[in-house]
Chains A and B, each alone.
Chain A
Amino acid sequence: MKTIKIEPISRLEGEGQIIIILDDDGKVRDVFFEILELKGFERFCIGRPAEEMPRIVTRICGVCPWAHHMAAGKAVDAVFGRDPTPVAEKIRELAYCAHIIDSHSLHFYFLAAPDFLVSPEADKSQRNVIYLYKKHPEIVKEIVKHRHYVVKIESMIGGKSIHPVCCVPGGVSKRLTEDERKEIEEMAKELIKFSEKWLEIWEKDILSKYEDIIFSKDIYYLETYYMGLVSPKDNSLNFYDGDVRVVDQKGQEVFRFRAHEYLNYISERVEAWTYTKFPYLKPIGWKGLVDGPKSGIYRVGPLARLNVCDRISTEKAQLAYEKYIEAGGKPVHFSMFAHWARLIEMLYASERILELAQDEEITSSDVINYEGALTKFGVGVVEAPRGILFHHYETDDDGMITLANMVVPTTQNNAAICMDVKKSTEKLIINGQISEGILNRIEMAFRAYDPCLACSAHSLPGRMPLVVKVYNTRGELIKELRRE
Chain B
Amino acid sequence: MRILVLGIGNPILGNDAAGILAIRELKRMFKRFNVNNVYFDESSDGGFRLAEKMLGYDKVIIIDTIKDNESTEEGTVRVIDLYELMKKNENKWLANPHDADLITAMKILSSAFKDEMPREVIIYGIKISSSFTFSEQLSDSVRNAIKKVVKMILEDLGVKN
* Residue interface mask A299-324, B partner, CB < 8 A = 1: 00000000000000000000000000
Inter-chain contact A463/B96, CB cutoff 8 Å = yes
Give residues of chain B (76-126) contacting chain A, Cβ–Cβ below 8 Å: 80, 85, 90-104, 107-109, 111-113, 123, 125
Known contacts: A38-B133, A56-B12, A461-B101. The answer to whether A62 contacts B44 by CB under 8 A is yes
CB distance from B135 to the nearest CB of A (A): 7
Known contacts: A147-B48, A462-B47. The answer to whether A483 contacts B93 by CB under 8 A is yes
- Please name all residues of chain A whose beta carbon is closer than 8 Å to the beta carbon of B71 when the two chains form the complex: none
Inter-chain contact A450/B95, CB cutoff 8 Å = no
Query: Please, which residue of chain A has its CB at the minimum distance from the CB of B13?
Result: A457
Whether a CB of chain B sits under 8 angstroms from the CB of A242 is: no
- Please name all residues of chain B whose beta carbon is closer than 8 Å to the beta carbon of A484 when the two chains form the complex: 92-93
- Please name all residues of chain B whose beta carbon is closer than 8 Å to the beta carbon of A140 when the two chains form the complex: 108, 112
- Please name all residues of chain A whose beta carbon is closer than 8 Å to the beta carbon of B103 when the two chains form the complex: 461, 463
Whether a CB of chain A sits under 8 angstroms from the CB of B72 is: no
Cα separation A274 to B107 with both chains bound (whole Å):
38
- Please name all residues of chain A whose beta carbon is closer than 8 Å to the beta carbon of B93 when the two chains form the complex: 124-125, 127-128, 483-484
Cα separation A11 to B108 with both chains bound (whole Å):
21
Q: Compute the total of residue contacts between A and B using a CB distance below 8 Å.
A: 176
* Residue interface mask A447-462, B partner, CB < 8 A = 1: 1001111011111111
Inter-chain contact A110/B64, CB cutoff 8 Å = no
Cα separation A261 to B36 with both chains bound (whole Å):
53
Among the listed A63, A127, A144, A465, which residue makes an inter-chain contact with B99, where contact means beta carbons less than 8 Å apart?
A63
Known contacts: A38-B133, A59-B12, A63-B98. The answer to whether A460 contacts B64 by CB under 8 A is yes
Give residues of chain A (35-54) contacting chain B, Cβ–Cβ below 8 Å: 36, 38-41, 43-44
CB distance from A191 to the nearest CB of B (A): 16
CB distance from A18 to the nearest CB of B (A): 12
Inter-chain contact B98/A106, CB cutoff 8 Å = yes
Inter-chain contact B123/A452, CB cutoff 8 Å = no
Inter-chain contact A130/B13, CB cutoff 8 Å = no
Whether a CB of chain A sits under 8 angstroms from the CB of B75 is: no
Inter-chain contact B91/A458, CB cutoff 8 Å = no
Whether a CB of chain B sits under 8 angstroms from the CB of A221 is: no
Known contacts: A127-B93, A450-B98. The answer to whether A459 contacts B64 by CB under 8 A is yes
CB distance from A445 to the nearest CB of B (A): 12
- Please name all residues of chain B whose beta carbon is closer than 8 Å to the beta carbon of A443 when the two chains form the complex: 95
- Please name all residues of chain A whose beta carbon is closer than 8 Å to the beta carbon of B13 when the two chains form the complex: 38, 59, 456-457
CB distance from A212 to the nearest CB of B (A): 23
- Please name all residues of chain B whose beta carbon is closer than 8 Å to the beta carbon of A458 when the two chains form the complex: 8-10, 16, 19, 44-46, 64-65
CB distance from B78 to the nearest CB of A (A): 10
- Please name all residues of chain A whose beta carbon is closer than 8 Å to the beta carbon of B65 when the two chains form the complex: 458-460
Inter-chain contact B16/A8, CB cutoff 8 Å = no
Known contacts: A12-B130, A456-B10. The answer to whether A162 contacts B43 by CB under 8 A is yes
- Please name all residues of chain B whose beta carbon is closer than 8 Å to the beta carbon of A38 when the two chains form the complex: 13, 132-134
CB distance from B63 to the nearest CB of A (A): 10
> How many positions in chain A have a CB within 8 Å of any CB in the partner chain?
63
Known contacts: A458-B8, A459-B67. The answer to whether A110 contacts B132 by CB under 8 A is no
Among the listed B43, B52, B112, which residue makes an inter-chain contact with A151, where contact means beta carbons less than 8 Å apart?
B52
- Please name all residues of chain A whose beta carbon is closer than 8 Å to the beta carbon of B98 when the two chains form the complex: 63, 103, 106-107, 111, 450, 452, 455
Whether a CB of chain B sits under 8 angstroms from the CB of A408 is: no
- Please name all residues of chain A whose beta carbon is closer than 8 Å to the beta carbon of B108 when the two chains form the complex: 129-130, 133, 140, 144
Whether a CB of chain B sits under 8 angstroms from the CB of A446 is: yes
Known contacts: A59-B11, A162-B44, A484-B93. The answer to whether A106 contacts B130 by CB under 8 A is no
- Please name all residues of chain B whose beta carbon is closer than 8 Å to the beta carbon of A159 when the two chains form the complex: none
- Please name all residues of chain B whose beta carbon is closer than 8 Å to the beta carbon of A161 when the two chains form the complex: 49
CB distance from A53 to the nearest CB of B (A): 12
CB distance from A166 to the nearest CB of B (A): 17
- Please name all residues of chain B whose beta carbon is closer than 8 Å to the beta carbon of A11 when the two chains form the complex: 46
Inter-chain contact B16/A459, CB cutoff 8 Å = yes
Whether a CB of chain A sits under 8 angstroms from the CB of B66 is: yes
Whether a CB of chain A sits under 8 angstroms from the CB of B128 is: yes
- Please name all residues of chain A whose beta carbon is closer than 8 Å to the beta carbon of B107 when the two chains form the complex: 130
CB distance from B127 to the nearest CB of A (A): 9
Whether a CB of chain A sits under 8 angstroms from the CB of B131 is: yes
Inter-chain contact B44/A59, CB cutoff 8 Å = yes
Give residues of chain A (136-180) contacting chain B, Cβ–Cβ below 8 Å: 137, 140-141, 144, 147-148, 151, 161-163
Whether a CB of chain B sits under 8 angstroms from the CB of A26 is: no
- Please name all residues of chain A whose beta carbon is closer than 8 Å to the beta carbon of B43 when the two chains form the complex: 162-163
Between A8, A14, A465, A484, the greatest number of chain B beta carbons within 10 A of the residue's beta carbon is seen for: A484
Cα separation A457 to B102 with both chains bound (whole Å):
14
Known contacts: A38-B133, A59-B12, A140-B108. The answer to whether A111 contacts B48 by CB under 8 A is no
Inter-chain contact A456/B44, CB cutoff 8 Å = yes
CB distance from B88 to the nearest CB of A (A): 11
Inter-chain contact B132/A10, CB cutoff 8 Å = no
CB distance from A338 to the nearest CB of B (A): 13
Known contacts: A128-B91, A443-B95. The answer to whether A462 contacts B12 by CB under 8 A is no
Q: What are 9 A-to-B residue pairs whose CB atoms are below 8 Å?
A: A12-B16, A38-B133, A59-B10, A59-B12, A110-B48, A458-B46, A460-B102, A463-B96, A464-B96
Which 3 pairs across A and B sit closest by C-beta, in order of nearness?
Answer: A463-B101, A44-B134, A462-B46
Q: Contact residues of A with B, CB < 8 Å?
A: 8, 10-14, 36, 38-41, 43-44, 56, 58-59, 62-63, 65, 103, 106-107, 110-111, 114, 124-125, 127-130, 133, 137, 140-141, 144, 147-148, 151, 161-163, 443, 446-447, 450-453, 455-466, 483-484
Besides A39-B133, A458-B64, A460-B125, 17 more A-B contacts (Cβ < 8 Å) are A8-B97, A11-B46, A12-B67, A44-B135, A59-B11, A106-B99, A107-B98, A128-B93, A130-B108, A137-B112, A162-B49, A163-B44, A452-B97, A460-B102, A462-B102, A483-B93, A483-B95
